[in-house]
Structure 1
Amino acid sequence: MDLFELRGDVAFVTGAGSGIGQRIAVGLAEAGADVACLDLVGSAGLSSTVERIQALGRRAFALEGNVTRAEDVQAAVAATEKDLGALTVAVNCAGIANATAAEDMPIEQWQRMMQINVEGVFLSCQAQARVMLPRRRGSIVNIASMSGSIVNRGLLQAHYNSSKAAVIHLSKSLAMEWSDRGLRVNSISPGYTMTPMNARPEVAEQCKIFERDTPLGRMATVDEMVGPAVFLSSKAASFCTGVDLIVDGGFVCW
């Protein structure tokens, strides 16, 4: 169905060097989009993302920058429009996660989490909207987490949970602010997902608990985040804005 095709679209993905961001960047290309891929300087997987997209016959190039620096994101968006054309789709995946007991957490750890996960998303949306709004066309999808809606049992991550709740509400707020100018903004809230971070041997026992506590009995694969991202970016979601699409294997239903 051409409702889900992104042929003719130009996409911009942050955090495209690994995990969910990398897979979504490739997934947008599989749906037909050309993709600009942004990640930190020295990101080991960024060139692989670009190669995988180009192997599909789509245009792609790597961009290095920090989403917490407005000038980096603005320059990356400008480079995207120069090399690929008018930006129509953006997916903001850049983010971090860690855990510390709230009473012991240094303020610097709290601030870094908020700077990357919230301020980085805002600055990305701002730069993307500045080129999309005058054309009255575009879709932005921000990657949040089910941890923005629930508190994960046994995980000491008040800062992370708070940051992802902020991403969800930021997305809704921007969706309403830009709704009359042709720009849709939505978020995706993944549940426990088998990213490289969760594939480490030292967290194997923790992952067994994640699987046990998820109604579908397993963690998501990164492949399972592609469909939701393509849907929200495509014509199939043309009447969807301000939506937080929870992709968690039923976890929040318990």
Structure 2
Amino acid sequence: MSLLEKFSLLGKVTIVTGAAMGLGKAMATALAEAGSHIVIADMNLEAARKTAAEIEAMGVTTLPVHVDVTDEDQVNRMVETVINTFGQIDSLFNNAGIALHIPVEEMPYSSWLNMMNVNLNSVFLVSKAVGQVMIRQKKGTIINTSSMSGIIVNMPQAQCAYNTSKAGVIMLTKSLASEWAPHHIRVNTIAPGYMKTELTKPYFEGNSEMVRQWMELTPMKRPGNPDELGGLAVYLASEASSFVTGSVFVVDGGYSVW
């Protein structure tokens, strides 16, 4: 097999959570470009259907699925639907997540719990359900979206819940990689820095003092674009990364080096 052939995902099936827009959509598009069929798993079914139609025009099969990734029953039903449709799951990209800027002393406990549910507990639930399938298959790849915030504390915004949830994703990634290596399942995480997406676009267009500080602390002096993560996503989902597991890939324009 040539090097370029190792990057091919032709005929593979990938679930991407939070894939209707933003980073999830960019990752789903990149994986489809490499040949993978894509399951667009999202709370917003209308947006998921629109994204699925756009990606399907690239010549792969797509399946939009409504799912609350914090609900175990819904997650299990999603996995069942995917297996009934495709008969296999080759890759999972856990991307669904939220952010919140609230100082600790002002944070309602309900907000803390919600952050942990969406950003961390969902990764456990979806990975567990898909992992059971991959164990039976004796192969699979899982890619989790964590954040540079899982290894550093951002400034000037207060976001302890977000930072903690993403640090948890990193340790969960390492733990799953260790437990599931005997089953030929590889688990890695991409840790992005400040990315310009639909959700963060207002911050950057507002040219706020907070954004100015972000860019001053980033050696490359700019935010990342979602498609700049696509090559790494394809690498981690493909045979090109066959000896890579339990790794954290920080893509932050250099932010965490200072």
Q: Structure 1-normalised TM-score?
A: 0.96
Q: What's the offset of the Cα at 1:43?
A: 4.6
> What is the rounded CA distance, in whole Å, between the counterparts of 1:149 and 1:203 in structure 2?
27
8 Å contact kept, 2:187–2:246: yes
Q: How does 1:36-55 map to 2 (within 5 A)?
A: 36-40=39-43, 42-55=44-57
> What is the rounded CA distance, in whole Å, between the counterparts of 1:102 and 1:241 in structure 2?
34
8 Å contact kept, 1:198–1:207: no
Question: Which residue does the alignment assign to 2:230?
Answer: 226
RMSD over aligned CA atoms reads 1.2
Q: What's the offset of the Cα at 1:44?
A: 4.7
What's the % identity of the aligned pairs?
A: 39
Q: How does 1:13-24 map to 2 (within 5 A)?
A: 13-24=16-27
- Residue segments in structure 1 that go unaligned for 5+ positions in a row: none
Q: Per the alignment, in what secondary structure is the counterpart of residue 196 of structure 1?
A: coil
Give the length in aligned residue pairs. Answer: 253
Tell me if 1:12 matches 2:22.
no
Q: What's the offset of the Cα at 1:203?
A: 4.6
Q: Single out whichever of 244-253 and 42-51 deviates more from structure 2.
A: 42-51
Question: Which residue does the alignment assign to 2:197?
Answer: 195
CA 213–45 in structure 1, closer or farther in 2 if over 3 Å, else same: farther
Corresponding letter in the other structure for 1:223? D
Question: Which residue does the alignment assign to 2:74?
Answer: 72
Offset from partner CA, 1:144-202 (integer Å, 9 cap, x none): 00000000011100000000000000000010000111101111100000011111167
8 Å contact kept, 1:90–1:141: yes
> What is the rounded CA distance, in whole Å, between the counterparts of 1:124 and 1:61 in structure 2?
17
Q: Per the alignment, in what secondary structure is the counterpart of residue 64 of structure 2?
A: strand
Offset from partner CA, 1:36-84 (integer Å, 9 cap, x none): 11000x3553122101211100000100010011111111111112212
> What is the rounded CA distance, in whole Å, between the counterparts of 1:233 and 1:13 in structure 2?
12
> What is the rounded CA distance, in whole Å, between the counterparts of 2:215 and 2:179 in structure 1?
38
8 Å contact kept, 1:26–1:49: no
Corresponding letter in the other structure for 1:33? S
Moved over 4 A (4+): none
